[in-house]
A and B are shown apart, each in its own frame.
Chain A
Amino acid sequence: MKPSELAGRLWRALRQPLVATVFGLLVGAAVILACGQNPGAVYLEMFTKSFFSPYYLFSTLTRATPIIICAMATGMAWRAGYINIGVEGQMVAGTFAATVAALYLPGPPPLAALLAWLIGMAAGALYALLPAVLNWKFQVSMVITTLMLNYVANNLASYFVTYPLKDTSGDGLALQTPEIAEALRLPRLSSTSTFNAGFLIAVAVLLFMLFVTKKTVFGYESKMGGFNPSFARYGGTKQVKVMMITMALSGAIASLAGTAEVFGLKFRYADNMLSSTSYAWTGLMAALIADLDPLGMFFVSIFLSGLQIGGSAIQRSLGIPLEIATIIQCCITLFVSVKLVFRLTRKQSAKAEAKGGAQA
């Protein structure tokens, strides 16, 4: 790919999000004004403490790692027309399985680590296949089942870290598993911060997504299925097979998000560590803002991560709740979706219908 070509692609992927971001930040500015603060100063503080200094940039990239991977997991399913809002549950199921495997599997470290990651991916994939199978066999809405399974996974993992697998060393108050062996952990990429090789996994997932969506028959088939199911069927796509593979991949990718967090940053599974941080939902936002474009999702995830890191910084220093980040994110998504419609209704309203109302 030539540089100019790449720049063009990037511009096309980021044009809409950029406009929406400006509007989102304007809404945020109004909210900050309502808090009695100066938006300019707050934003300056926010972005200084998220992008414009090496230490904070590393924090932003560390937090972005699971968000990027969750965005990819979401994008994988959504672009094929499968509304998977259960990435959180799949991430929890996969991560928990990987952590337990890392704690109890014997064997030489590199092999045990690899096995643990694979077990996590398998668990995530199976957890995502459950709603897919129910949809196929019983036409049960995947929107509902995937969301319900989030609560099931979180509560089950919570049960395990509270009772059978709880770390009893130390004061024994924290609800968490013991730490995984040092040899299984991901290496740090920076000597001064927690930035670790998990980010490289996020990059690998991005490359994998780009490859699958642009270069494989499966990528084409799954996209067609999301775009126009009857055309895909006419074209000879085996939709059930595509659905199963899509959801399994989505779940497997989701598991990587949490596994990278455990193996690279926390070294154990702690109660609610993946849900209280809203990684999956931020990833979903990123996927929506970037209109499911892999490259776009990557950069939007980093941006949203920066908003959150900056949000916690201003909460500490200025007393503005960090949920300001959530508000800005959601407004950006809303502006993106409305903008999308304005563009499409002008060009071809039929396409808008295929994306929105008709599918429902």
Chain B
Amino acid sequence: MNSAYIASILNSTLRSTTPILLAALGSAICSRVGVFNIALEAQMLIACFFSIAVNYTTGSVLLSVAAGVLSGALVGLVVAVLQVKYRAADMVIGTSLNLLVQGGTTFLLYLLFGLRGVLNDPKLVSLTKINLPLIRDIPFLGRALENLTILDYLCYFIAAALFVYLFKTVSGYRTLSVGINKAAAESLGTKATRIQMRMVVLSGALCGLGGTALSMGQVIMFTENMTSGRGFIAMAAASLGMSHPLLTILSSLFFGLCQGVGLALQTVIKSQLTMTLPYIATIVALVVFSRRGSGTKKKSLPKA
């Protein structure tokens, strides 16, 4: 195994991490305010669709990203209204929305573009690629960071910003207090339900950004159900990161690595087998880290 090979694995690790990290941050903030949001998959997939749909019709990267974020936030808003405001059963809302978006995007793809299952066109524009001037020429690092998109960098800043917001600002402390004890937070005058709803919409926006990174990053296309469980992997990442933005970076990088290695192994092992890797790794990781900080985890993730 030479260094160029390792560099290319690192490169695809970083690319695969971005959607997972962004969605995991969305999952983390929901857990932090005590909302069990399993519609992450829907929030991502709808963004994959609308970012590509807008991309196809306008050719503008900025508008595509905006469409992705907004559509994700919109699904988040539905979750917020039904699940937080009207307290409908979380599993029911989550699974129905996941399926609704799955069917709905396929339906819209046909209705708007007359296509079945895939929208892939040479005129689709990719996210802005960044090749840092000096680093580009360093042999190993240059390859590892080659052609990463702006979102591949931005996601770490978003994680850091969330950390600062949650743990270093007054408003962040209020937000955290809602998750720790909603009734107590309310008694101190915090508008708990409003904060919960706001965080769920924010999680939708983050997942939307993640979905956009998925459809306009490594490959530029929309395919039916292209998120294939990433929303749930992101939940696992947030849970392993104990819903802490900075720790979530680490756990997301781990899942990104699994996907990167899985892709690299496809040259040696049949792809059907390597494709199971991220899913098995998720389960193994949850098992291995189950004892550590189980107290926090129990709070953030249900028994179910």
Q: Which residue on chain B has the smallest CB distance to residue A278?
A: B99
Q: In this assembly, does A19 line the interface, its C-beta being within 8 Å of a C-beta of chain B? A: no
Q: In this assembly, does B222 line the interface, its C-beta being within 8 Å of a C-beta of chain A? A: no
Residue B104 contacts which of A323, A340, A341, A342 (CB distance < 8 angstroms)? Answer: A323
Are B229 and A341 interface neighbours, CB within 8 A? no
- With a CB–CB cut-off of 8 A, which chain B residues contact A333? 92, 95-96
B261-304 CB mask vs A (1 if < 8 Å, else 0) is: 00000000010110110011011001100110010011001111
Are B303 and A288 interface neighbours, CB within 8 A? no
Are B83 and A140 interface neighbours, CB within 8 A? no
Q: In this assembly, does B63 line the interface, its C-beta being within 8 Å of a C-beta of chain A? A: no
Q: Which interface class (under 10, 10 to 19, 20 to 34, 35 or more) fits B?
A: 35 or more
Q: Which residue on chain A has the smallest CB distance to residue B228?
A: A151
Residue B88 contacts which of A326, A327, A341, A359 (CB distance < 8 angstroms)? Answer: A341
B91-106 CB mask vs A (1 if < 8 Å, else 0) is: 1110111011011101
Are B86 and A338 interface neighbours, CB within 8 A? yes
Are A323 and B103 interface neighbours, CB within 8 A? yes
- B53-61, B148-156, B232-240 - the one binding chain A: B232-240
Are A159 and B273 interface neighbours, CB within 8 A? yes
> Known contacts A148-B279, A330-B96, A338-B82; is A324 also within 8 Å of B107 by CB?
yes
A120-155 CB mask vs B (1 if < 8 Å, else 0) is: 000000000000001100111111110111111001
Interchain CA distance A312-B83 in the complex, whole Å: 33
- With a CB–CB cut-off of 8 A, which chain B residues contact A44? none
- With a CB–CB cut-off of 8 A, which chain A residues contact B118? none
- With a CB–CB cut-off of 8 A, which chain B residues contact A337? 82, 88-89, 92-93, 96
- With a CB–CB cut-off of 8 A, which chain A residues contact B83? 356-357
Q: In this assembly, does B110 line the interface, its C-beta being within 8 Å of a C-beta of chain A? A: yes
Tell me the smallest distance from the CB of A177 to a CB of chain B, in Å: 15
Tell me the smallest distance from the CB of B266 to a CB of chain A, in Å: 12
Q: Which residue on chain B has the smallest CB distance to residue A326?
A: B103
Residue A148 contacts which of B97, B229, B239 (CB distance < 8 angstroms)? Answer: B229
27 residue pairs bridging A and B, Cβ less than 8 Å apart: A31-B107, A83-B91, A139-B298, A140-B283, A140-B290, A141-B303, A144-B232, A145-B283, A148-B236, A151-B276, A156-B273, A158-B272, A285-B99, A288-B92, A321-B107, A326-B103, A330-B96, A334-B82, A338-B82, A340-B89, A341-B86, A342-B86, A349-B87, A353-B87, A356-B88, A359-B304, A360-B90
Are B286 and A145 interface neighbours, CB within 8 A? yes
Q: Which residue on chain B has the smallest CB distance to residue A344?
A: B87
Interchain CA distance A325-B102 in the complex, whole Å: 12
Q: Which residue on chain A has the smallest CB distance to residue B229?
A: A151
Q: Which residue on chain A has the smallest CB distance to residue B274?
A: A155
- With a CB–CB cut-off of 8 A, which chain B residues contact A150? 229
Are A327 and B286 interface neighbours, CB within 8 A? no
> Known contacts A285-B96, A330-B103, A334-B96; is A148 also within 8 Å of B232 by CB?
yes
Tell me the smallest distance from the CB of B110 to a CB of chain A, in Å: 4
Q: Which residue on chain B has the smallest CB distance to residue A321?
A: B110
Q: Give the residue among B86, B228, B304 with the most A Cβ atoms within 10 A.
A: B304
Tell me the smallest distance from the CB of A76 to a CB of chain B, in Å: 15
Tell me the smallest distance from the CB of B59 to a CB of chain A, in Å: 25
- With a CB–CB cut-off of 8 A, which chain B residues contact A349? 87
Q: Which residue on chain A has the smallest CB distance to residue B37?
A: A360
Are A138 and B100 interface neighbours, CB within 8 A? no
- With a CB–CB cut-off of 8 A, which chain A residues contact B280? 148, 152
- With a CB–CB cut-off of 8 A, which chain B residues contact A156? 272-273, 276
Are A141 and B100 interface neighbours, CB within 8 A? no
Are B287 and A326 interface neighbours, CB within 8 A? no
Task: Tell me the A315-343 residues at the B interface (CB within 8 Å).
Answer: 321, 323-327, 329-331, 333-334, 336-338, 340-342
Tell me the smallest distance from the CB of B281 to a CB of chain A, in Å: 9
Q: Which residue on chain A has the smallest CB distance to residue B270?
A: A159
Are B287 and A284 interface neighbours, CB within 8 A? no
Are B88 and A360 interface neighbours, CB within 8 A? no
Q: In this assembly, does A299 line the interface, its C-beta being within 8 Å of a C-beta of chain B? A: no
- With a CB–CB cut-off of 8 A, which chain B residues contact A142? 303-304
Are A288 and B87 interface neighbours, CB within 8 A? no
- With a CB–CB cut-off of 8 A, which chain B residues contact A341? 86-89
- With a CB–CB cut-off of 8 A, which chain B residues contact A85? 95
Are B100 and A331 interface neighbours, CB within 8 A? yes
- With a CB–CB cut-off of 8 A, which chain B residues contact A338? 82, 86, 88
Are A141 and B276 interface neighbours, CB within 8 A? no
Q: In this assembly, does A198 line the interface, its C-beta being within 8 Å of a C-beta of chain B? A: no
> Known contacts A285-B96, A321-B107, A323-B106; is A82 also within 8 Å of B304 by CB?
yes
